[in-house]
């Protein structure tokens, strides 16, 4: 069972749990060629359905290895930040 993740607010940004509705923004951001060239695990072109599957995986990931990914939101998803409990 995934623990309840907090929502962290600053004057400029919100760090919040990922939501299925973030998938189009994740696909757009991860699909950028420059992003894909600088990572080992992001495919280019970024296939349809991968963002949705990745979000679902993240819901289980934290319990497995203590790594939690949060959406960085400034009125829309602009990135993802990983936090670890280990």
- The residues with which 16 forms a beta bridge, in sequence order, are 71
Task: For 10-58, write each residue's pLDDT tens digit.
Answer: 999 999 999 999 999 999 999 999 988 998 889 999 999 999 999 999 8
- Angstrom distances, CA of residue 57 to CA of 21, 33, 68, 69: 15, 23, 11, 10
Structure tokens at 33: 């060629």
Q: Smallest Cα–Cα separation from 71: which of 54, 85, 86, 47?
A: 54
User: What's the whole-model pTM score?
Assistant: 0.85
Task: For 57-84, write each residue's pLDDT tens digit.
Answer: 988 887 778 889 999 999 999 999 998 8
């Amino acid at each position: 069972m995934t623990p309840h993740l907090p929502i962290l607010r600053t004057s400029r940004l919100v760090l919040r749990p990922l939501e299925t509705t973030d998938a189009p923004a994740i696909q757009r951001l991860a699909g950028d060629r420059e992003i894909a060239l600088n990572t080992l695990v992001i495919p280019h072109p970024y296939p349809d359905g991968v963002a949705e599957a990745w979000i679902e995986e993240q819901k289980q990931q934290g319990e497995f290895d203590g790594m939690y990914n949060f959406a960085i939101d400034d009125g829309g998803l602009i990135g993802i930040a990983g936090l670890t409990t280990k």
